[in-house]
Amino acid sequence: MKKLRHLANRLWRREPGNNIERKRAEQALAASQRELEIHNRIAAVFLTAEDEEIYEKVLEVVLQAFDSRGGVFGYIDDGGNLVCPSMTPEISEQCRMDDKTIVLPPTAWAGIWGKALSTKRSVLSNEPNQVPVGHVAVRRCVFVPIVDKGKLIGLLAVANRETDYTEVDRSQLETIAGHIGPILHARLARDMEERVRLRAEDDLRRALADKNELLKEVHHRVKNNMAVISSMISLQSENLVYEETVHSLNKIRNRIRAMALVHDQMYHSEDFRRVDLGEYARRLTDSLLQTHADHAGRVELQTRIADVAMNIDVAIPCAMILNELVTNSLEHAFQDGRRGEIVVALDRLEDERFELAVTDNGVGFNDDNGVRGANRMGLELVALLAKQLGGELEMRENHGADVRVRFVFE
């Protein structure tokens, strides 16, 4: 502190040599303030400018600070190439090179700027530089590599000032490059992580699209295979004479169609994981009414399905249950030309369970066990499917048949 006070006293007392020392101190202070102002302006650019504007705006600050007409601010990309998104109009617009580009691989690094990049050392020249044919003339220049933690990450250059560049200019540009280095390095690392993330998302989207196409093809093939089996059963039925056997084969065919309809709906759906049960129930009941054409005009079939989509593991058992119960009502509830109604419903209960119900106002159950004897196998199948769903089966008479399955699914 005493030495500083003594130095100050000497400066202000104008002792011999004081003027020179004071001038040097003032020059050092002015240079320091200039560097601080440049650093602050560059930091403000990195904080406020959009990504695509940063290089141009930083270069504007540097060119103004060094009174230069030309300059370049570029970075090293993931492939080790020098990318120059920002060049002054003198360089970018007036350049008439045939292979003009802003991406320069290491094999193209030449001249003093290539030397600066290869050696990671700045280069100052106040002599005309050799340039390729069509390139803007470079008379004076300073090329400074931007390095952070020993890694080359960019290039900062000024050129074509009216007066020569000095070692002070080089030192100040190196200081600026050193200030830019960590900021640019962090931004490049962030951008690389973002590109990696976007590539991963793109790969995931493609994989998902491929999976969806595969699932679509699987559902299509399953549906077609079931259609072939159904057709084979139909052909076989034509050669049989026993009505009971033909009837049994037709029931098997209808069960296959019920499952094939699920796959057909999934094939045409945007979401291959879910089946719209309401749409499925309408299509199934329409198909069953067409199969039982003798009921046309006598039996009305209504659907009341809650807005719910099921995965295929739940949809298939529900489809089979609907097929068995609606078929059961169509075949046994309305004998001797009786008119009636069948209602198919799916409701969400208060305990978060679902209730699938098929009711009719036909003859009801006709034996002591609550099972229509002529379709005992079909209702036994319903019981097995309800168990597969982890649900409860309830069959009761309520001015007709009333069958309900209560179950839970996610």
- Is residue 190 in a domain? yes
- Is residue 245 in a domain? no
Are 95 and 10 in the same domain?
no
Write out pLDDT tens, residues 347-370: 988 888 899 999 999 888 765 444
- Is residue 261 in a domain? no
Query: Which helix or strand (DSSP H or E) is residue 245 part of?
Result: helix 243-267
How is residue 298 annotated by DSSP? T
44 confidence band (pLDDT: 50, 70, 90): confident
* Average pLDDT value for residue range 228-257: 81
Are 301 and 391 in the same domain?
yes
* Average pLDDT value for residue range 47-60: 83
Residue that the structure tokens 């350049």 belong to: 95
Q: Could you tell me where the beta strands, DSSP code E, fall in 162-248?
A: none
Are 61 and 190 in the same domain?
yes
Are 102 and 117 in the same domain?
yes
Looking only at the bridges linking them, the beta strands covering 299-305 and 340-348 are parallel
375 confidence band (pLDDT: 50, 70, 90): low
167 confidence band (pLDDT: 50, 70, 90): very high
Instruction: Supply the pLDDT for residue 92.
Output: 56
Question: Residue 357 maps to which CATH number?
Answer: 3.30.565.10
Domain count, the chain: 3
Radius of gyration of the chain (CA): 42
Structure tokens at 184: 């640019």
Closest CA to 271 of 224, 312, 320: 312
How is residue 303 annotated by DSSP? E
97 confidence band (pLDDT: 50, 70, 90): very low
Are 4 and 82 in the same domain?
no
How remote is the C-alpha of 253 from its chain's centroid?
43
Check: CB of residue 264 under 8 Å from CB of residue 294.
no
Closest CA to 152 of 128, 190, 116: 116
Structure tokens at 131: 């340039």
- Is residue 90 in a domain? yes
- Is residue 282 in a domain? yes
Are 132 and 9 in the same domain?
no
Closest CA to 147 of 122, 172, 112: 122
Listed residues 182, 198, 214: the one ending a domain: 198
Are 31 and 63 in the same domain?
no
**Can you tell me the distance from the alpha carbon of 158 to that of 145, in angstroms, rounded to the nearest whole number?**
12
Write out pLDDT tens, residues 107-127: 989 888 889 999 999 999 998
Are 22 and 158 in the same domain?
no
Instruction: Supply the pLDDT for residue 158.
Output: 92
Instruction: Supply the pLDDT for residue 91.
Output: 60
> Domain limits at 96?
52-198
- Is residue 141 in a domain? yes
Residues 6+ positions from 81 with CB-CB distance below 8 Å: 103, 104, 105, 106
> Can you give the pTM of this predicted structure?
0.54
